[in-house]
Structure 1
Amino acid sequence: MKKFITLALVLVLVLSVALTGCSSNEPAPSNGGDEAPAAESLKIIAAHNQTSPDNPYQIGLLEFKEVAESLSDGAIEVEVHAGTLGTNENELVEKLQLGAADVVIVSPGFMTQTGIKEVDIFALPFLFDSYDHWEAVVDGEIGEEIAQLINEQSNNQFKIVGYWTAGVRHYYGKEPIHSMDDLRGMTIRTQTSGVVADYWTRAGAIPTSVAWGELYQALQQRTVDSAENAYPFYVQQNHHKTVNGKYTTETGHDYTTRFMLVNGNKFDSLTAEQQDIILQAARASVEAERAALYAQEDEHKQILIDDGGEVNEIDRTPFIELAVPLQDQAAVEMGVVELLEKIRALM
């Protein structure tokens, strides 16, 4: 009997060891030690629509990747896509909704296509008069209010985890402009609907839709007379070297806002530790992207000049005077009159 009991105990011990080995993927029970359990693994697909490796968007998302992977000791893996998931922002929004992307960078204009019309306030021409003004808005109570509005109206599909910028936008085209009259009858690549198109139409130009990836060819082949963007973006794409992109007039009509978005429902499903790491990485990416953009504006303006491009300044007063009533009208239509007044009060 003693031999039988001893044999039975041995078999139980062997079986116990075998089961422990088979369940090695399960979290180990706490042994009362100081060593923290390993973080759960997570893969994040982060995407933007720019293709240049030197673009501020790429610099920002690479910073997000570095911080997220470092803080998680590699448990969180970030895969950055520079234009490879789509060069149109509506593609990125769709992929975020479908779960094919986890972090995307998009403009307010594409968010309005989801039915959240209020965010188009950021697209109003001459809404901001400096980067200090812009930062005071997006980094303060107004930025928090917009973030909450987007989250609620999208039923938690979209969650803002950071405000990026795509620089201050200027006109560039086949000839310089010295007054608003020079825009009359000129085609300009910009948004073809909403407040942006309305403004350029009132200024006398003809808004034209051209995909960003096709704009170099459109300018070179004279399909479009002009465009508008910030130095780091169009100079990196060599638009200033095209036939219809040589002349830049510093209209400064848009201090741009870009949303760093995640899917709120997926974010809420993560552990508290993962959420905290993602938010820390997002804050780091905001600082890196803005710093890169601010530095590159001066750098790429000089590159443009060195390459033979020409830059002129303009009296912006008539352009601003045209924009103010448009801002008022759009704010009423969007239901953001109070928000507009708050933004103006921070000037």
Structure 2
Amino acid sequence: MMKNKYAFILLFIIVLGLLAGCTSGEADPDGDGKIKIIAAHNQTSPDNPYQTGMLKFKEVAEAESNGTIEVEVHAGTIGTEESQLVEKLQLGAADVVLVSPGFMTQTGMREVDLFSAPYLFTSYEHWLKAVDGEVGKEMADIINEKSDNSFKLLGYWSAGVRHYYGKKPIESVEDLEGLSLRTQTSGVVSDFWQATGAIPSGISWGELYQGLQQDVVDSSENAYPFFVQQAHHTTPNGKYITETGHDYTTRFLLINGEKFDQYSKEHQEIILKAAEASVKAERDATNAQDVEYKEKAIEEGAIVNEIDTQPFIDIARPILEDFAKEIEVEALLQKIIDLE
């Protein structure tokens, strides 16, 4: 009887050990102290700043770990839609991904959509103060807590400054009246453009060049590196660029929080260091391309004009305040406004 009891206890201990091994094996499947990280974004162009950032992440992680961390970078090859990347992150088929605030709301975190609102930030310096300061830390906590640690924020990347481009230049808000504009067709972004008199259109990004070329849509809005790489400025309805600067864009670099917690302390510190390096590399690349692709657009016949953005800001501010109240982030909005 006593023998059976000890045998049972021994079996119980062995089972516990096996279970513990299985858990840690998710982060280190071979048990040799090495881990492989699948890092992915949705842009297919090798010249895109996202690729620059991911390659810097890989470079630093592998160098600092002396090869105990291997990073495999995917540029649109495991998903060109953010929904695909987040699904892979949740399932463990990807470890580090890049997504936008607008998409994150689909996961139940409405608070992050504040970063999508037009004229939330009035300059690049204003954006930096927010995301690299207390506001950024607070948003990171929201993402981690609301996702039950499924998502851990590693850093804030930029996707440039978004401007209007279309079939005619914009000299005043009134010039937008009745123009169809490719943008979000619901939410705070749509509310803003409707308030200017424009008509939001949901044409897909992949079909936009043809849509601008064939007069399906009058205009669109995006940052220079993105729409110039797609040659939108060479179409009749993309030729005129007005620098509205309505969105200093934010992108979230995420890692699976549960998996991150399984890594060794040393590997965690290296991943955070690599993420910090990737943030700088991606932002620098984006800022450089903002200048480079603006020059390219002008050289290829696009016409660029600047505009007084204050009337646009005046339209956006009450919409922004109502939206912040709706998603219960009034205090966070005020902190951002105070940083101007």
| 1:255 and 2:248 matched | yes
The more displaced of 249-258 and 177-186 is 177-186
From 234, 245, 250, the counterpart of 2:238: 245
Does the aligned pair in 2 maintain the 1:39–1:72 contact within 8 Å?
A: no
Does the aligned pair in 2 maintain the 1:174–1:247 contact within 8 Å?
A: yes
From 140, 145, 149, the counterpart of 1:147: 140
- Note the C-alpha offset of 1:198: 0.9
Question: CA–CA distance in 2 between the matches of 1:166 and 1:43?
Answer: 27
Structure 1 stretches (4+) deviating beyond 4 angstroms? none
SS in 2 for 1:259: strand
| 1:341 and 2:322 matched | no
From 172, 175, 180, the counterpart of 1:182: 175
SS in 2 for 1:322: helix
- Note the C-alpha offset of 1:39: 7.0
Question: CA–CA distance in 2 between the matches of 1:192 and 1:83?
Answer: 25
Amino acid at match of 1:279: L
- Note the C-alpha offset of 1:343: 0.4
Does the aligned pair in 2 maintain the 1:88–1:211 contact within 8 Å?
A: no
Q: Who is 2:279 aligned against?
A: 286
| 1:81 and 2:81 matched | no
- What are the ranges of 5 or more consecutive residues in structure 1 without an aligned counterpart? 1-37
TM-score of the pair, normalised by structure 2: 0.88
Equivalent runs, 1:36-47 vs 2, <5 Å: 40-47=33-40
Does the aligned pair in 2 maintain the 1:187–1:207 contact within 8 Å?
A: yes
From 201, 204, 208, the counterpart of 2:201: 208
From 104, 122, 136, the counterpart of 1:129: 122
Going from structure 1 to structure 2, the CA distance change for 1:92 and 1:325 (only over 3 Å counts) comes to same
Q: Who is 2:317 aligned against?
A: 324
Question: CA–CA distance in 1 between the matches of 2:32 and 2:188?
Answer: 46
| 1:92 and 2:85 matched | yes
Equivalent runs, 1:113-128 vs 2, <5 Å: 113-128=106-121
Question: CA–CA distance in 2 between the matches of 1:74 and 1:64?
Answer: 14
Q: Give the number of the structure whose alpha-carbon radius of gyration is greater.
A: 1
Amino acid at match of 1:95: K
Going from structure 1 to structure 2, the CA distance change for 1:73 and 1:319 (only over 3 Å counts) comes to same
- Note the C-alpha offset of 1:75: 2.1
Going from structure 1 to structure 2, the CA distance change for 1:270 and 1:319 (only over 3 Å counts) comes to same
- Note the C-alpha offset of 1:80: 1.1
Equivalent runs, 1:156-195 vs 2, <5 Å: 156-195=149-188
- Note the C-alpha offset of 1:243: 2.4
Going from structure 1 to structure 2, the CA distance change for 1:61 and 1:96 (only over 3 Å counts) comes to same
From 301, 315, 333, the counterpart of 1:308: 301
Does the aligned pair in 2 maintain the 1:65–1:281 contact within 8 Å?
A: yes
- Deviations 1:76-104 (CA, angstroms, capped at 9, x unpaired): 11111112222222222222112221111
Question: CA–CA distance in 1 between the matches of 2:125 and 2:261?
Answer: 33
SS in 1 for 2:243: strand
SS in 2 for 1:167: strand
Going from structure 1 to structure 2, the CA distance change for 1:174 and 1:123 (only over 3 Å counts) comes to same
Question: CA–CA distance in 2 between the matches of 1:150 and 1:85?
Answer: 23
Q: Who is 2:192 aligned against?
A: 199
Amino acid at match of 1:61: M
Question: CA–CA distance in 2 between the matches of 1:74 and 1:206?
Answer: 52
Does the aligned pair in 2 maintain the 1:241–1:307 contact within 8 Å?
A: yes
- Deviations 1:238-292 (CA, angstroms, capped at 9, x unpaired): 1111222111100000111110011111111111122111111000000000111
Question: CA–CA distance in 1 between the matches of 2:124 and 2:307?
Answer: 19
Amino acid at match of 1:300: Y
The more displaced of 61-70 and 238-247 is 238-247
SS in 1 for 2:159: coil
SS in 2 for 1:323: helix
SS in 2 for 1:47: strand
Question: CA–CA distance in 1 between the matches of 2:306 and 2:134?
Answer: 34
Going from structure 1 to structure 2, the CA distance change for 1:261 and 1:226 (only over 3 Å counts) comes to same
- What are the ranges of 5 or more consecutive residues in structure 2 without an aligned counterpart? 1-30
Question: CA–CA distance in 2 between the matches of 1:239 and 1:342?
Answer: 37
- Note the C-alpha offset of 1:311: 0.4
Question: CA–CA distance in 1 between the matches of 2:124 and 2:38?
Answer: 30
TM-score of the pair, normalised by structure 1: 0.87
Q: State the identity as a percent.
A: 65
The more displaced of 235-244 and 278-287 is 235-244
